[in-house]
Structure 1
Amino acid sequence: MKHYIGLDVSLKETHICIVDYDGQIVWQGKCVTSPAAISKAVAPYFDTIEVVVLETGGQSSWLQKGLSDLDLPTVIVDARRAKAALSCRLNKTDANDAEGLAQLARTGWYHGVMAKREETRFIRSQLLARHLLIKQRRDIENQIRAILRGFGLQVGTVARNKFESRIHELVKKQPELNSALTALLTARHSIMKQIDHLDGVLNDLCSQSALCQRFMTVPGVGPLTALTFITTIDDPARFVKSSSVGAYLGLTPRRYQSGEVDKSGRISKHGDALARHMLYEAASALISRVKRWSSLKAWAMKIVKRSGQRKARVALARKLSLILHRIWMDGTEFCWSTKEVNA
């Protein structure tokens, strides 16, 4: 007798449902969210378990690895796709969600999601931390500008390293703002110090990686873009076609086709947001700052003339994802053209 298990995972507790080959519920319950506790709960059915299914989430990679180490065949499924099946139920409860996942496991109507390696997740955590700190620094700067603007004081365009001195200069005209702005500037200074520290760590990681060095031969691609792409894809062999990477990262247009209607919309944005952001920044750098000619830049500039900067950057970001994947798979570097043309 085969059994199929669905896990509805929350921070403290995990609801478990076990169904048999005919879809009948064999056992339902809950336990503490940990691989050991879950393994103990399903121990009576250990020899007949066909697959264990759980949704993508903050703890999914950890649980999948822990359960697999305990010889439980565990698959992570895309939460967005699972939601479509689970939404058919009248009542939304954790127990019902666990049963729904168990039925998905039994029917095979799911798409497994690859769990990233632990080493990759460590690097990824540093990239995410840096990204958050950048956002916080920007928020503080915008708040400072807004406060000063309320008193008729304009910060204007100023270099990042001269921002603090510019604020002190403006505060002299309105001393009452000194205490509030000093607090914000102190927080900004601390955040920038941590950003610089993470930049150093990430640059060291990139310099030690031959793959990163190959990625950085592509114009516009720097250490952060290279590391972000590596930690997002993790295993390039899972993509049969390099062109599929753009769709995976949400850089391809949505499509709606029904009968005589066939429409293409904006990009899906279903993939990894950080990777999409970094590829877009790399595309912007290639179009705006890279002076050396290449067939890639010439291709992008044609789109700029035809469709504008924004669409060209999105198209170029998608093209960069294809090129980086191909470099990864072939073990090659970016080929610069010897032809000098004014693009």
Structure 2
Amino acid sequence: MEEKIRYVGIDLGKRTYQCAILDEKAKNQQFNGKADGIGLERLAKRLGNDDLVGLEAGNNAFNIARYLTDRVGCHVVVLNPGKLAMIYQSLKKTDREDAVQIARLLQRNPVEELPTVPLPTKKEEEERSVVAELATYKADRTRYINRLHSVFLDSGITTITKADLKTASNREKNVLTLLTGRHVREARRLIEMVAYCEAIIEDLEQETKQFLESEKNTGILMSVPGVGPATALAFIAYVGDGSRFANADQVANYAGLTPRVDSSGETHRMGPISKRGCAYLRRVIVQAA
């Protein structure tokens, strides 16, 4: 008996999902639910192992894709939202319409031609989580130091630079000797926030080293000038062994490091990098360079 494939589009919100199911006769079924355990179980019961399911990469997408694959046995693809022009150029932009558009995209195109995002392993997800958290707290530390520097400027002290506030001892010394009144109290609160971020950064850097100890490509990556543990882990977490990329140009495009191209007639201009791709990977590569 010939299998009847249904095409399932799922539009995910932070706490809910909207689902559209198209069968071979183009009949459209729609329903929604909460993206919690009970809601996902109800979704799983309405799907079959012959269904082709598509959902955009985003909030909880990988976890839901893995859950449906294991629970139902259906084929689930995670789609790159940046390349779904048919949805984002639609004049009718609703969750219901997005779910239908995803289902139609699956119906009209072979899976190998879809803009899919590879489903990461649990270990890759953990490594990406460390990379993202480390980037967040480093950015927070920089923001607090910048704010601390502005406190000195507000009090009329222009001889202190941001570099003078990089270490805990320098921060404490400059605050005690140069600031007075309320500026001291504000500066002390900022110093506490910087110290808090630095303590977490130290823990995350230790966790980064632990992940790298179990990766076979760590030595190769760390041998590149300018590449440290944070850059190496980001590359491993997002690029892996590189087997899913055909060449280095694809990796550069994935990281958003390829130039923008403006072509009109015989005029071809190469602009700045596109910055469309993996922001965490691009950030550490730029810093390493």
Letter in 2 for 1:275: L
Question: Cα distance, 1:4 vs. partner?
Answer: 0.3
Against the structure 1 CA distance between its residues 153 and 257, is the aligned structure 2 distance closer, same or farther, given a 3 Å change threshold?
A: same
Name the aligned partner's letter for residue 13 of structure 2.
S
| Residue among 75, 78, 81 paired with 1:76 | 78
Return the offset for 1:106.
Answer: 0.5
User: Do structure 1's residue 198 and structure 2's residue 204 form an aligned pair?
Assistant: yes
Greater shift, 158-167 or 9-18, is seen at: 158-167
TM-score normalized by the length of structure 2: 0.88
The aligned counterpart of 1:92 is 93
* Equivalent of 1:134 in 134, 138, 141: 138
Is the aligned partner of 1:273 residue 2:279? yes
Would the aligned equivalents of 1:3 and 1:19 in 2 still touch at CA under 8 Å?
A: yes
Any idea what SS the aligned residue of 2:248 has? coil
For the Cα contact (< 8 Å) 1:23–1:103, is it kept in 2?
no
Residue in 1 aligned with 2:6?
Answer: 3
Aligned to 1:18: 21
Using the alignment, how far apart are the partners of 1:176 and 1:34 within structure 2? 48
CA positional deviation for 1:235: 4.8
For residues 88 and 205 of structure 1, the distance between their equivalents in structure 2, rounded to whole angstroms, comes to 41
Code of the aligned partner of 2:203 = H
Report the equivalent of 2:177: 169
Identify if the C-alpha distance between structure 1 residues 160 and 74 changes in structure 2 by more than 3 Å, giving closer, same or farther.
Answer: same
In the alignment of these two chains, the number of paired residues is 278
User: Alpha-carbon deviation of 1:250?
Assistant: 0.9
How far apart, in 2, do the equivalents of 1:117 and 1:133 lie? 25
State the match for 2:240 in structure 1: 234
Quote the Cα distance in structure 2 between the aligned partners of 1:140 and 1:168: 18
**How far 1:76 moved relative to its partner?**
0.6
Distance (Å, rounded) in 1 between the aligned partners of 2:171 and 2:151: 15
For residue 119 of structure 1, report the CA deviation from its aligned partner.
0.6
Q: What SS class does the counterpart of residue 128 from structure 1 fall into?
A: helix
Q: How does 1:145-224 map to 2 (within 5 A)?
A: 145-154=149-158, 155-156=160-161, 157-158=163-164, 160-161=166-167, 162-171=170-179, 174-224=180-230
| Deviation string, structure 1 residues 230-275 (Cα, Å, up to 9, x no partner) | 0011352111123321111111111233433322211111111121
Residues of 2 paired with 1:200 and 1:52: CA distance?
39
Equivalents in 1 of 2:241, 2:39: separation in Å?
30
State the 1:281 CA deviation. Answer: 1.6
| 1:110-145, Cα deviation, whole Å (9 max, x unpaired) | 311112111111122122112111111111111111
Within the alignment, does 1:121 sit opposite 2:129 as a pair?
no
CA distance in 1, matches of 2:126, 2:137: 17
Q: Distance in 1 between matches of 2:44 and 2:223?
A: 51
Partners of 2:35 and 2:100 in 1: how far apart? 17
Cα deviation, residue 208, structure 1:
4.2
Contact 1:39–1:67 (CA<8 Å) still a contact in 2? no
2:115 to 111, 116, 136: 111
Partners of 1:17 and 1:28 within 8 A in 2: yes
8 Å CA contact 2:50, 2:74 repeated in 1? no
Aligned 8 A contact 1:23 1:106 in 2: no
RMSD over aligned Cα, in angstroms?
2.1
With over 3 angstroms needed to count, the CA separation of the structure-2 counterparts of 1:33 and 1:137, relative to structure 1, is same
| Gap runs ≥5 in structure 1 | 284-343
